[in-house]
Chains A and B, each alone.
Chain A
Amino acid sequence: MNVLKIATAGSVDDGKSTLIGRLLYDTKSLTDDKLEAIEEKSKQRGFDYLDFSLATDGLVAEREQGITIDVAHIYFSTRKKSFIIADTPGHIEYTRNMVTGASTAQASIVLIDARNGVVEQTYRHFFINNLLRIKDVVIAINKMDLVDFSEEKYNIIKGEIEYLASKSEYKNQNLTFIPLSALQGDNVVSTSENMPWYKGETLMHHLERLDAEDVQEETQVRFPVQTVIRPKTEEYHDFRGYAGKIYGGDLEIGDEVSVLPSQTKSKIKSIHFFNEEFAKAKSGSSVTITLEDNVNVSRGDMLVKVAEEPTITKQINATICWMDKEPLQASQKYYIKHGVNDAQAKITQLNTIIKTDFSGKIENPSALELNQIGDIQLKLSKPLLVDAYNQNKSNGSFILINPKTNNTVGVGFIKSPL
């Protein structure tokens, strides 16, 4: 099951839901009953064309208001590949839901309405894609039919985005520009005859070509222990396995590992997956590992290869995207969840608010409001085993939880351990 996860982003009414509907329609992924429902509802509401957003806007409030409030996950496949598309909201007030959808994506599509060009939400979405370090970003310049398929319009927008990209810290990004009309189907699945000046691929062709494994950046192996498996049965009397998911690289029997935070050294004795044993396990596999020595390992500990240790620290510098109505203020306490590990965290400093149009920072703000992005310093109640986000995505990110409400209030990207 080779699955590519894609997030869409864009401003309100730039046609995200229509684009997804078009992808489903043109790849014949919409079943008859769903298509009939869309036809019937579109007619009932007096629309001149099929309103594909009816397929993705699953909540009553969304259909009432004609906007997307929360992420919808859409599944479809072509003969070459399976896709999961996170259809995320465009409204600024739902930016946190856009981050939710984009955080697990391997590729991203940012939609721009060709008539309006680059707008404030484009900056924000482009910035978040860069913050998340999503390697493949498609800039889909939509509604080309409404600007007479103008090459000039396309070039102006392309130039503006390239200028933005030049100011971004993330240089490893592949930007692909595609002029299209989601409503009429130009360059979505079939090549448009209306834009002979465009020599690139269609959106579908481009997405089919992306390889889910290639879009991951190489990192060192991290194996955070989720739970310790101790069957305590006659057959497995002495079995003590460490269950978790491998991030960033492969693990093999015989690998010398360091158990953190105790820094005890041992070797991998066996790798189990259900009732089979394997000599080697690839990144992304949820396996159970046993060690040659009887060391003390519990949930939240981490196995890594010797000489590839992350930093053990009680203080971190991070960029944070705030997701709660109650603003973040310095000196407040939160729970921090870092992978499968937990600690308490105190915000010791709120350094800056970052402007998402790459135009700079506001120094020493008093609070960080909903959907704002800023740089902070955190002090932790116990040492965590961290990497910088640009070195290892899974081990370089965390969430903050408000202890009073239990809500997830922020997502953080570790810049450097202090």
Chain B
Amino acid sequence: MEENRITRGSGLVVVGGSAGSLDVILKVLPLLSERLLIPVIIVLHRKTSDDNILVELLAAKTKLPVKEVEDGDIITPGIVYVAPADYHLLIEKNGGLSLDASEKINYSRPSIDATFESAALAYNTQLTAVILSGGNGDGTEGLKAVKEHKGVAIAQDPSTATAPYMPQFAITAIPMDAILDAEGLAEYINQFS
């Protein structure tokens, strides 16, 4: 496992969450190394109106730069990207981030599935996808794609989640590489620094 961790999942970490996931993210961010050598992308379900507040809140918790994705952004190591409300966020194979304002998927936009699937295609074994607290099934289909492309799948330990349904649903459907709490997740990400 230790060897796997170094050679796999070392290009990009994508984190998806819904209800209750902000709590975990606010615990993980302060623990992240300032010398992180990979980008982290966060996809959260939320209302459309609180965009700026969310980014400011996240930025206050870490020394890493936090950026809400804009069309045309190129993925850069050491940056924490946040998917904008009301858009799907897709990862391009050329290292670009693209936005998609199409139909909601399972009542969600951004859809965690859509980001995980595109990231799996672009990063293959170099991808780590993390599913956090939430009250619906978004993310599980995306994690299947991550595993098909030999990436690393991680779930938040449901016993630590405010809304355990989402990580539990994924754990039941997919063999996870790890099930972690906030500290464990930060430790995992910090190995890429």
- Bind each other: no
